Chains A and B, each alone.
Chain A
Amino acid sequence: MAQLDIQNLVKRYGDFHAVRDVSLTVADGEFLVLLGPSGCGKTTTLRMVAGFIEPSAGHVKLGGADVTLLPPWKRNAGMVFQSYALFPHLTVAQNVAFGLEMRKVPRPDMNRRVEETLALVRLEGYGGRLPRQLSGGQQQRVALARALAIHPDVLLLDEPLSNLDAKLRQEVRVEIRELQQRMGLTTVMVTHDQEEALTMADRLVVMNEGSVRQVGSQRDLYERPADKFVAGFVGRSTFLDGTVEAPGCFRTEGGLSLVCAGGTAGKASLSLRPERLEIAAAPLAGLDNCLPGTVEFVSYLGAMIDIHVRLSPADRLVVQIANREGGFTPDVGQSVHVGWRASAGQVFNA
């Protein structure tokens, strides 16, 4: 395993910038997740690290060595593809052995390493099967074993869980993460699924439109999003549009005057996390903001209940409450009060 350095990486297709000046360092043994909507450049970045796409500018360094100009077969990067890309005409053992054959590992060593790697992904005894005889989850594990068998400098995962059903995905998530920590694998994963990103990563990189928007831990991204995009993409936010009249003083488009934390004068959005808001039938005391409103929509999610509250003709909020026994659950059309501390909201100037 080794440290991966991405320096000022750029990929242009004609006038279109798929990736603009991305710089990242993945420490030895770190699990970094590239998170973003489709078309944000995360996959292009990963494919440049793997060597499938030649960057327009910038460098990729693996363990300190510049591999920018090396073809994929001369880099020691293990890749797990979204479609798994197993060799359908080879058995599971032959699939796992493929990279070792390319490295001219002697036969006895090779067999031992294939066995070891299959045991690692709990597929002992499956070596003689063909990929099509395995379930989706097993195929995924073969793909992982094949990438790990070559003892790669870096493990690259391209949306590895998107073809699994929801229940299996949760199990595999934990499995991959435990394996990665146990073996100290330097790993880069690409995903658009934020829950997946949050459960697996040491550090996350949020990308949009080809650029890195924010790098940080789960807590950093959630509590201190760098911009409105991150606030909306990581976790859930409801936004009230309006203007900051003076630092600490926000007026919504619907004319509501709110106390906010900081902000500079001008057009802005106030971002609020639905679960940080409080809701009650009577006015709430001790909060910086408390506003009357009407319940417009209730969605019952089981453990949680989402309540959409209209504060003014132009302003609507989502409040999320825990579904506790005997807790307050308003009905549609009911008059309620919504309140929050100034510190619960974040202002993003437009």
Chain B
Amino acid sequence: MSLVVDKPRGQGWTASALLAPATIFIAISLFAPLGILFRYSLNEFVPSTKTMVEALTVANYVKFFTDPYYTAALATTIKVSLLVTVVCLIVGFPLAYVMARTQSRFKHLLIIATVLPLFVGNSVRAAGWMVVFGNKGFVNASLMGLGVISKPLEIMFTENAVIIGIIAVNLPFMVLSLQSVIEGIDRAVEEAAFSLGAPPATMFRRVLWPLALPGILAGTILTFILAMNAYATPFLLGGPTFKMMAPVIYNEFTQKTNWPFGGAIAFILMSVTLGLTLIANLLIQRRSAR
């Protein structure tokens, strides 16, 4: 008797062949550069000749954590990202809720309007913000013209400008993540809570929030990662003294051509982002699983 393993259709060579291109592409384009970069981060850098010397050392990582200039940049990045994420969640939830629940025939226009800002590149948008925030910009000119303030507000080249800028970029991601999940929640479930005696705030806490949690997680993670890695916005709106991680890494690679140290910072940023995301994920899931 011969042993014949009966495979369901589509699980043999065909499926493998279909999966291969994407898998190979990801392997080459993501893991290969990461691997090379990680290897670089363990090399030595000779400042006098601006060259990389093959080595196996953690000196670059030690340098990052012992130099307050870099740890401050990391702290700023985490602080800004957390703030941006929280604001996006608070501002985005009501908007997402309305978009998910509306019966209006202009619903698709609302969604397009939300996504529209993403059609403009980050640097172009940042340039727009510069016009709005500048000393003679839209905000200051309007407020001074109305006599609300006598001298221009310092918005441009501050942390606040960066935060506002990144929120504007990230809000659509948060709103769309939340909207798709809220749309899947039966409206009658909210009404059931009302009819059982729950006022709106209680209904939100006990029913809507836990049911929307997958969307909240997705939106929060997306927003947080995007903020942690923001480059154009902090670079253009933060000015020369404001430091976030992505511009610092770029600076190491291009201005100083210090590839080992740049690689090390890149890995630190990635690890911190991943670590914080995982911790938040675990915390939220544990709290909701009670």
List chain A positions with a Cβ less than 8 A from chain B. 50-52, 71-79, 81-83, 85-89, 98-99, 102-103, 146-147, 150
Contact = CB atoms under 8 A, between A and B. Distances in A.
Interface stretch (B18-26, B184-192, B262-270): B184-192
Given A85-B186, A102-B202, A146 B191 contact: no
B196 A102 contact: yes
A181 to B, nearest CB: 23
Interface residues of B, number: 19
Interface in B60-104: none
Given A83-B186, A83-B188, A88-B211, A71 B194 contact: yes
A147 B288 CA distance: 25
B117 interface: no
Contacts of A77: 195
Contact of A87 (B189, B197, B202): B189
23 contacts: A52-B191, A52-B194, A72-B191, A73-B194, A73-B195, A73-B199, A75-B195, A79-B192, A81-B192, A85-B192, A87-B192, A87-B193, A88-B189, A88-B211, A89-B210, A89-B211, A89-B288, A98-B193, A98-B206, A99-B196, A99-B197, A102-B197, A146-B192
Contacts of B218: none
A88 B210 CA distance: 10
B217 interface: no
Contact of A81 (B191, B198, B288): B191
A78 B186 CA distance: 18
B189 A85 contact: yes
A39 B193 CA distance: 26
Contacts of B206: 98
Interface in B167-208: 186, 188-189, 191-199, 202-203, 206-207
Interface of B: 186, 188-189, 191-199, 202-203, 206-207, 210-211, 288
Interface centre among B193, B196, B203, B211 (most CB of A within 10 A): B196
A293 B289 CA distance: 72
Q: Is the interface of B mostly helix, strand, loop or mixed?
A: helix
A86 B199 CA distance: 17
A86 B193 CA distance: 9
A99 B194 CA distance: 9
Contacts of B193: 87, 98
A102 B191 contact: no
Given A87-B207, A102-B202, A150 B192 contact: no
Contacts of A83: 186, 188
B195 A72 contact: yes
A9 B240 CA distance: 67
B211 to A, nearest CB: 6
A78 B195 contact: yes
Nearest to B192: A85
